[in-house]
Homo-oligomer: A and B are copies of this chain.
């Protein structure tokens, strides 16, 4: 029962594999909806990946495909035993380091010295409000997750996201009011 060693899977591969393992057999469209409600909030990617990635996983022998016989003839994918094992192995590995944040707002702040007057203040206001909106959405989602059982880990992940948003909000507010890290804090 050796697992086929195909071309190394990416994080996105495991994301899709994980969804399939958690949810049971799903069509790409179902995955799309699930992603939009959960993981997509902090790991966004276009819906087309949900059509191209499962076949790739199938080629690696980690998921099984089944095509509906009726009118729509949708493809439905399911993680098999090898897939679940591969996922478990990946989850047990130490996470790769150094992904960074890749936040455009931060990048623009970094180059603040090249900005025209007022641009940094505008950026700070904008970022604060974007982040505030995001936090509200996350709070709503958190309420739903708490009310429904079986989502403990999703809830925890969201919790980290919310803490990130909270610090981002207060940071950008500080920037907007020029109160960032007063010397000799």
Contacts and interface: CB of A to CB of B under 8 A. Distances in A.
Contact of A180 (B104, B130, B156, B167): B156
Interface string A3-29: 000000001001100100110000000
Interface stretch (A47-55, A59-67, A68-76, A89-97): A89-97
B113 A152 contact: yes
Chain A interface size, under 10 / 10 to 19 / 20 to 34 / 35 or more: 35 or more
A22 B11 CA distance: 34
Contacts of A88: 114-116, 119
A117 B21 CA distance: 17
Interface of A: 11, 14-15, 18, 21-22, 38-44, 84, 87-88, 90-92, 94-116, 119-120, 122-123, 126-127, 130, 146, 152-157, 159-161, 163-164, 166-168, 171, 175, 180-181, 183
18 contacts: A18-B110, A21-B111, A22-B113, A38-B110, A39-B107, A41-B100, A42-B103, A44-B98, A91-B114, A95-B104, A95-B127, A106-B161, A113-B153, A163-B171, A164-B167, A164-B168, A166-B167, A167-B167
